[in-house]
Amino acid sequence: GRALADEAYLRGAHVLLVTTQPESAAPYEVVAVATADEMAAAVTEAAASADVLVMAAAVADFRPSAATEGKIERGGRESLTLELDRTVDILATAARPGLLRVGFAAEAGPQLARARGKKAAKGVDLLVFNDILAEGVGIGSDENEITIIAAEGETHVPRTTKQACAAAVADAIERLLDSPR
Ligand code: CTP
């Protein structure tokens, strides 16, 4: 997410980064959030006046149905069942005419077909596939290997820096912004 924000900023975009990891300084506005609900609220507000929304976050799909003040006491229990509710799908609900949406697909394995399905299901303009089980790339690494899925075709970016991946995604976004929609 940060590499994408940096790349967009360097290309002259007005950037707002919504993140759970606001630690390092940035030359653009950064909104810190802690939960999927907070991210949904911040993104929905910003997306209302944006041209492009890129959702690189691995958002939690479920949250505890109830929160406890203080602590959950052991009380002699041998197990504990937590009930979870679905969180809102931020990328899908942000859809509006004129907003170009870019999603990421975190897949456990080389499941490109599943990522293609996600592009259709979420109705996004671009879907960036990455395999979260691939060694040495993706979450926690400075490198990634991605496939950018567009209506016009697919672009595979072999293992490289996240900045180079972000540049490839930015190129794909620019191509769409330049083409009549
Ligand atoms: N996403 C989102 N809001 C969520 C969950 C995901 O906006 N509550 C976005 C992610 O930021 C990403 C895309 O949806 O751009 C796909 O996320 P991913 O975790 O790969 O897939 P899911 O939609 O959660 O589906 P599944 O867990 O079945 O793979």
| Residues in the chain, overall count | 181
Write phi, then psi, for 170 (nearest 5 degrees): -65, -40
What pLDDT score does 96 carry? 95
Residues with CB under 6 A from ligand 1: 36, 55, 57-59, 61, 87, 89-91, 103-106, 118
By most ligand atoms within 8 Å of CB, the mutation choice from 4, 18, 55, 102 for ligand 1 is 55
**Parallel/antiparallel/unpaired status of strands 29-32 and 52-55:** unpaired
Q: What is the pLDDT of residues 66-86, one digit of tens each?
A: 989 999 999 999 999 999 999
| Ligand 1 atom at shortest distance from the alpha carbon of 88 | 8
What average pLDDT does the segment 145-165 reach? Answer: 97
pTM: 0.95
Calculate how far, in angstroms, residue 74's C-alpha sits from the geometric centre of ligand 1.
Answer: 34
What sections of the chain are H helices per DSSP? 2-10, 36-47, 90-93, 112-122, 162-178
What average pLDDT does the segment 162-177 reach? Answer: 98
Q: What is the mean pLDDT of the chain?
A: 96
Calculate how far, in angstroms, residue 108's C-alpha sits from the geometric centre of ligand 1.
Answer: 13
DSSP per residue over 81-113, as a string? ---EEEPP-HHHHT--TT-EEEEEEEESSS-HH
> For ligand 1, atom 21, which residue shows the shortest CA distance?
105
| Ligand 1 atom at shortest distance from the alpha carbon of 43 | 7
Calculate how far, in angstroms, residue 89's C-alpha sits from the geometric centre of ligand 1.
Answer: 7
Calculate how far, in angstroms, residue 76's C-alpha sits from the geometric centre of ligand 1.
Answer: 37
How far is residue 39 from each of residues 135, 163, 176, measured CA to CA in Å? 29, 23, 26
Counting residues of the chain whose pLDDT is more than 90, the rounded percentage is 94
Q: What is the pLDDT of residues 36-54, one digit of tens each?
A: 999 999 999 999 999 999 9
What pLDDT score does 56 carry? 97
Calculate how far, in angstroms, residue 1's C-alpha sits from the geometric centre of ligand 1.
Answer: 14
Question: Can you read off the two tokens belonging to residue 95?
Answer: 């859809």
- pLDDT bucket at 181, cuts 50 / 70 / 90: low
What pLDDT score does 57 carry? 95
What pLDDT score does 180 carry? 74
For 91-125, b where at least 16 C-beta lie within 10 A, e where not — what string?
A: beebeeeeebbbbbbbbeeeebeebbebbeebebb
